[in-house]
Amino acid sequence: MPDIMGMIYAALNSIFNPILALDPNPTNPALTVLIIAFFVSLITTVANKYLVDQDEMNEHQAKMKDLNKRMRDAQKRGDGKELAKIQAEQSEMMKDQTAMMSNQFKPMIVTFVPIILIFFWMRSSAISNLVIILPQTVYWVTLTPLWHALGGFIYGGKATIPFGIGWLLWYMICTFGMSQILRKFLGFKQGF
């Protein structure tokens, strides 16, 4: 029986090792993680763009916002008749919301396996040794001490490099930034 995971890692090595080799600091490949974050963000953003009807989703969110505003106003006025009417509308909207939620899972179905494979590759490659030293303000704004404490609680040990983060948190920061830029570039009306 062929070693499927070995073949997958070999394919990922052939894709990402040249990028890793071009990194100015291959022993601490921050640029490689940034490039991989861009690649993954591009895949997920394009999948969201073409698999989720953004206009329908925005319209549904606007209706829910209007419905919630009307409900708050009716509650302030003490208008029980209007409240009952709004609650009936709300139950209808919940059916639509369930459909919208299942629609939002389409991109995840398409992107989940490739992203997991890329994560496993990053964890088993030289990237797993990455340490980024953040400026103090960025360190505190990104709540890095909280992530360090959580990681220490789950995995044991503690962060030994002041203001340092590992590859996973660096990847998350890069992916968040890249996703926002790509969403703006591709014309998404909402942030997330």
Please say whether the beta carbons of 138 and 170 come within 8 A. Answer: no
pLDDT at 44: 92
Q: In angstroms, rounded to a whole number, what is the distance separating the alpha carbons of residues 136 and 91?
A: 48
**E strand segments, the chain:** 132-133, 164-165
pLDDT at 41: 94
Q: In angstroms, rounded to a whole number, what is the distance separating the alpha carbons of residues 69 and 179?
A: 30
130-179 pLDDT, tens digit each? 888 878 888 888 778 887 787 777 766 666 677 778 888 889 889 999 99
83-129 pLDDT, tens digit each? 788 888 877 778 777 877 877 788 888 899 989 999 888 888 878 87
Taking the CA atoms of 23, 27, 31 and 36 in sequence, report the sign of the dihedral they define: positive
The angle subtended at Cα 59 by Cα 58 and Cα 63, nearest 5°, is 115
Quick one: tokens of 81?
């008749």
